[in-house]
Structure 1
Amino acid sequence: MLRHAIAPARFFSQVPNEIIRHPRLSSDAVRLLSWQLSLPEDADQSLSETAKRAGIKKTGFIRAKRELAAEGYLHEWRRQGVGGRWSTTQLISNAPLSARQAVAVRDGRPTDGLPTAGGPEGRSVGHPQKNTEENISHPSSPDPVAVSEQAAGQASAAGRKDASPNTSPASGPDPVRTVPAPFVERGAQALAAVSHGERRLRLSGREVAALAPLAGDWLRRGATVADIREALTQWLPDRVHSPAGLVRDRLTRKRPEAPTFAEQRAAERSTAVARSGPRVAEMRECAGEHVQPRLFRPVDGEALCPSCRCDRAGTEAPAAAEAAMRGGALVRDLLHAHRAEAAV
């Protein structure tokens, strides 16, 4: 594959490769997000207007918004003003944000992992940079002597870091922190269900809240609640000393791979085909007496419709009550006879 790319000198935007190559964002979602990020700071253009200008149809726009919101690139809030009118506030970011981080950015408060909000500054969109090599993915070859000196300096710094026991290694951004709130809530429900069903994995409410982002990341990657339960309860030891530690280890070590966008579309199409079958295929004809055949959807393999079951229960109730009364009288007679024999 041959590529020919010329670094633009003006009117360009810097978009992270994580957005362009995102496996779970469609082309409409990437185009919508890139278009919004390329706008100036003072531009007040809604997502719907951007979709119209970009030529994105209504169905594609709805799917793109859903994908951006699920991945944490889009956050929306609806508020009611003093006069009773509702307004929608939209936040677009070039990095995934959790619900708490998005609220902090909206309110101008500092957040974990994000730079502190300061005074407004001009953006470099549409203006050339001093060094255009920083804006392309294939910079020119550096000086080999400088590279060797830089590598030697990095090796010596790494040796000093390994020799110092109090130095903690630098950690990159944790992808679990960017799990959207709906997945975190569903992950907490899945962990609570596993904790109630397995006595060796009893978790407190605080531990469930701390481990919910890990379980939510599983759900975001396409796993089901049954997959989480199987991964946590399979091959458990007879005694678990730290249930929270075991759950954290298994959720981290057995985390499934993120599905590609093509796999997600194939799963959606298969689900749509499965749901498009005839609804009467799940129905059954009632075995009771009706003027015309009556269809109903059984819940547990029953052969009678709800009306017939209610009628049969109403006719059988008096007979059952009479049998119970006869049985009670017989038991009383036997007790009296036994007491009379014991007195003699």
Structure 2
Amino acid sequence: MDTQQNTALTRALAEVPGPLPASGVIHIAIPHTDRFTIVGNHLAQHPDLSCTAVGIAVRIQSLPQGVEVGIKALAAHCREGEKRIAAALRELEAFGYLQRVRDRLPSGRVITRTVFCNQPTALLRPRRPAAPQHPAAPAPRPAPAEAPAEVPTSAPARAQAPTSAPAPAPAQAQVPTSPPAPAPTSPPEPDTSAPQPVPPPPLFSAHPAPLFVPLVPPPTAPKPPPAPLPRPDGPTPELDRAAGAFLSDLRRHTPQLTLSETDVRQLVPGVAAWLERAAHPDAVRRALTTDLPHPLRHPAKLLRHRLTALLPPPLPGSHDMAVPARPRITVTPFQTCDDCDRAFRSPTPGHCRDCREHREHREHRSEATRTAA
């Protein structure tokens, strides 16, 4: 049997303007008449958002006002689980498409509103102030239309027209006089005794906070000053001589680290600080020459950075290594009561608490009896 052809698709492809591409997607654009949502390419082609986040954003944008868009509400209508939906909502919140705003109701209850913005970059642009509304000027009266040439005018009609136009009013009468300005009055002082209502925070301020703060500063950001090169606490000529010999000997082990005399003199205090802290020369050489970049353009700057950033701490002394003695815990031993053989804790043998109370009560009664007799 022959392969069935989709005639509708063939007819739609024939209506596509221009030649069809040999590879890639072919768009058949049919205009929507109802139930459609406009999505910007900044969202559909966002380079840093995952496809799940883009799909969740499109679904939220297509929902009407007031519909729940929480994690559980979206998971009830989507195939993605709650973890993927939560991660997608965090992505949208990081790039400004989704915001959670805390608002206080007139009753005093604080609620969280979920706000979705289809174009978050537009919120960062300064809004233009509204143009002041001025009263509309009165429209000029239409000039009387001239009589058509075809219609003859009678002589008596011309005679009834006024021969002279009325004299115009003086210029002073045409200028309207403005009423006197009222005297400025000071505004009434606010009553501080009455509690003032606290207005709710605005949903979107005129100067909103940045929606996304990158973790990596831009290249134009000012760089912090470099840390100073470490120096020995007690510089000695022997340390300086050993450090200079060590730096001059580096080129025999690593030819890329060939230094000039000026570089050696500048780096001597850093190596002396390492040697003062009982670092073995082989350990210092290993820390300075391991995993070098290729190509190495500035060997002196690299050694200065490693001498500063990888400086080991000084060796601890014997008093620092001493383990503090633990406090001795005194354990009260168990004793056996002489009367009831009950076990109780006490430093000395004797009677338990109940037996002591019973003996005291009995002695008190015997004393009372003797006193009465």
Of the two structures, which has the highest relative contact order with CA contacts closer than 8 Å and spacing of 6 or more? 1
Normalised to the residue count of structure 2, the TM-score between the two structures is 0.30
Normalised to the residue count of structure 1, the TM-score between the two structures is 0.32
Quick check: which one's helix share is greater?
A: 1
Larger radius of gyration: 2
